[in-house]
Amino acid sequence: MTTTMTMTDDLAGLLLRRRQSVYVPEGTGRSAVTDAGTVVLEAELADRGHLLTAPLRRALTELSADDLAATGRKLLADIDALMGSDRRHTPLFAGFPAETAYRPAYERYAFLVAQHLAAQPHQPCMNCGSTKASVRALDPCAHLLCDDCLGAKRDVWFCCDQCCEWYECPICDKRYETDGPIDPWLDTGAGLDGDGGPVLRALRLGEPGDAAAELTALLARRTPLNPQDHDDLVLLLGHLDPAAAAQWLPAAIPLRESKALALAPLLDLPAVRPLVERYADTATDVLRILVVRSGGDPDLLEPPRLRGLPRPVRRALLALLDGFDFPRLAEDMARHPRAWKRAGEILHPFEQAHRHARVALAFAVLRGTRVGDGALGELLLAEAARHDDVRIAGDRLRVVTWQARVEEALGRWDVEAAVRLLRERPGELLRRLDLLLARSGSATLPDTVGEALADALPHSGPGPLLGAYGRMKIRAVPGHRRVFFPRGRVTKAYAVEDHRPPLPVRTAGRAGELIEAEAVRRLAGRKGERYDVAVLDAALADLPVPFAERASAASLVAVPRGSSLPVPADSENLRLFLHWMQSKGTRVDLDLSVALYDDLWRFIGLCDYTHLEYAGGAARHSGDLTSAPAPHGATEYLDLDLPRLAHTGVRFVVPAVFSYNDVPFDELPDAFTGFMAVRGKERAVYDPRTVRQRFDLAGDAKLMVPMIVDLRARRAWWTDVTLATAGSHHAVGRYRKQIGRMGNDLLDTFQPCGRATLWDLACWTAAARTDGDVYVRGRGHVLWGYRRAEDEPRADFALRIRDGWEPDVLCAEAELTGRAALLALLHGDLEGTDGAQDAASGTVYRLYPGPVDAAPLERITAGDLAGRLEPA
């Protein structure tokens, strides 16, 4: 797929966020003014945790002074917007803001780089992108370079007595001298206790194909897009010419919502309209396209009033619908009856009933049309006679759908009849697998179900496959409540008692083994790159495969809901923050709060605008702001000293954001929340370098619970859910029982690992695609290495890795230089991955950014990792 896109501010911001790419206009030549200006820009960027790579820095120094100023302001504004620091974050009490001292640009830049190196020695080389331990800062310019780049690129001049050497920095061409054998490195305070600090993020010079590459990746996604990805796809598609769709459309678009977004603009263009017929293969695809064309969202949750269609378009769509199998056509319409009735008003299916009798019959069933004695009635009856599923009830037509027949068989506990029907649709068989096993009453996997499962597995999609695997794990564990996450624009959760008896361990275990073997078989057989070595992080076992992503909050770090992550060390506190801005003429009062519970989820305290301190400052609120007028809005902070809270008897800490005066979050022009990790009792300032998570508040909701902190386990569970509210004047004390029940239910669901995890996916992928060693880090101070025996089944190899069997080898580092590598990591650091920056090729998944981002590896998301399970 090839295409070109005109660069705009919105597109530049998107590529900065997704690829760390910066686009620079063509320059007129380097000058002393732009050299000095670039140094100032470097200092500003370092203060925000970013640095310029060598090609980008050279491109900036080539600009005129005016262009450099404009480009620099735009770059800083985009980074501030990304991190949330472009707003004024002034709390109610004046004692909170920290003060910063002014330093000259060179001194300030050197000081900031030294701070970063003291806290985290693995920083990227600005010249080659390497993240070796040998990367250090030059004195006095402080540009980060590795030993290789300095040795290969430096120029040396000798004075007349040959007592001094002059070196030139390959980044800024600044010359400096050293006496004798001393290397020209900046003193960064080596040995300071600062390990674990933030890693500088390298910005690279943008390339013309970056936007097209992002579009290709999003259209190839096989799992639901989160709101941020959805908006990015809309933006990228908006910069394309629909008339040239044949050039930029890929061969297939797996995700149906993405398909509708791409095809809707083509519907009114006769030259490319046939592409719609080629890609749309279900009636629901047609409905989604009509909804997107009318300004709606392809999720079909709130279909808009549909725009009228020209006659040629109407006839083309009726012909397309008429080509679908009637039972599927009627079933698709029954899933979205209101939307299809609106579609019927613009399609006029009865006008062309003689040409498209199948479509006319489907609409007659949907609408409950009376069958009279006229020509239309005769035509409908004649068409109905061709389909065994159509029944006549009085003067109306009815369809007995496939779903209804399955429900009827399950209702009378006729497992064999249900299995015969479910064999027709492999995905549905997997979705109902636990119900089939429960109603079979067998202590082992029944032959009927086992045979049907074996036939269905090769043809099911990744979602049903992973969902069934997770249910096999949790259905063997008794005593848990069932938590449901209904489909919607925001994530809501409700729980019921689970009265179902647990599945026999042997039954659930055998079904899980068959699913796991199928997953490994698929990954081993798919085309694409194979790996010489793999490095996996055992901490991925705490991250479930993403689910309900359509309703997830747009966030800085895409943490899957239900993930368990370690909280900051004892030397750090959590600083929650909330920022919002109200529309003109509307006062909005948001409140940042925490509810505190003991071991048994009994409410024992709170910290909010009514109680600014808890337990002498173990939790401290910055003060209640009751409005947020433009242009600055309002910010509230809430500091949590986790060790002190634990000593007061608190076990569970539940942060919550309330809309006090009942204004939904989606009516705010700007609203986000998150948390930072701060040392000791630092005075409150919004420092983007310390932000660990930031996410938007959106949707028709007034109460948001982002996470639950378990102080005993020292873990934070990412929940990202909203709760129902009633009335107004919302506050945490009023909802303490509801929040406690919700927290108990969610942890009861998340803790038993009732879902497939990213660790499962990583182990399956490594065992299936790696021909060499697989290393696991996080099981001690060394790597555990596994080697597959020549005759060992790959599914058994995956089991050894996943369950932590005795390793075949122990080593300190995995050598990746010159090899095709698979990395699946929690943090993108380089510990245990020597040579990652020199790997020949490969793939990396990481949750948190780090030096490995500079390695020449394809970066994928959790959804991409799951999408690799798509059947051939």
- pLDDT 10s digits, 507-521: 999 999 999 999 999
Same domain, 771 and 728: no
The predicted structure's pLDDT at residue 132 = 60
Total domains in the chain come to 5
Share of the chain above pLDDT 90, in %: 43
CA–CA dist 491, 127 (Å, integer): 44
Range of the domain at 735: 549-750
- pLDDT value of position 133: 56
Q: Does 442 reside within a domain? A: yes
Tell me, yes or no, whether 717 lies in a domain. yes
Q: In the predicted model, is pLDDT for residue 743 greater than 90?
A: yes
Q: Which residues contact 850 (CB under 8 A, 6 or more apart)?
A: 122, 199, 827, 828, 829, 830
Q: Which pLDDT score is estimated for 286?
A: 96
The two tokens of residue 659 are: 């809309």
Q: Which has the higher per-residue pLDDT, 208 or 803?
A: 803
Task: Return d(Cα 526, Cα 458) in angstroms, integer.
Answer: 13
Q: What pTM does this model have?
A: 0.78
Q: Are residues 146 and 288 part of one domain?
A: no
Where among 709, 733, 750 does a domain terminate? Answer: 750
Q: Which residue has the higher pLDDT, 735 or 11?
A: 735
In the chain, pLDDT over 70 holds for what percent of residues? 88
Is residue 586's pLDDT more than 50? yes
Domain assignment present for residue 242? The answer is no
* Same domain, residue pair 458 and 555: no
777 with 809, same domain: the answer is: yes
Residue 727 has what pLDDT? 86
Report the CATH number at residue 786: 3.40.50.410
Q: Is residue 418 part of a domain?
A: no
Residues 437 and 313 in one domain: no
Do 174 and 286 share a structural domain? no
pLDDT by residue (tens digit) across 189-230?
Answer: 443 333 345 556 778 888 888 888 889 989 988 878 888 888
**147 occurs within a structural domain:** yes
Question: Is residue 429 predicted with pLDDT exceeding 90?
Answer: yes
- Give the domain-ending residue among 400, 417, 450: 400
Beta-strand relationship, 564-566 and 715-722: antiparallel
Domain boundary among 359, 383, 400: 400
Is 638 part of any domain?
yes
Chain segment 638-660, per-residue pLDDT in tens: 999 999 999 999 999 999 999 99
Q: Name the band, by pLDDT with cuts 50, 70 and 90, for residue 154.
A: very low
| Cα distance between residue 687 and residue 518, in whole Å | 47
- Asked whether residue 408 is domain-assigned, the answer is no
Q: What is the predicted pLDDT for the residue at 569?
A: 67
Encode pLDDT of 672-696 as tens digits. 999 988 876 666 677 777 888 888 8
Per DSSP (E only), the strands in 669-828 are 670-679, 691-696, 703-710, 715-722, 770-777, 783-786, 809-811, 820-827
- Residues 317-344 as b/e (b if ≥16 CB within 10 A, e otherwise) read bbebbbebebbebbbbbbebeebbebbb
848, two tokens: 């948190």
Residues 555 and 477 placed together within one structural domain of the fold:
no
Identify the pLDDT of residue 97: 28
Give the per-residue pLDDT at 684. 64
The answer to the question of residue 234 being in a domain is no
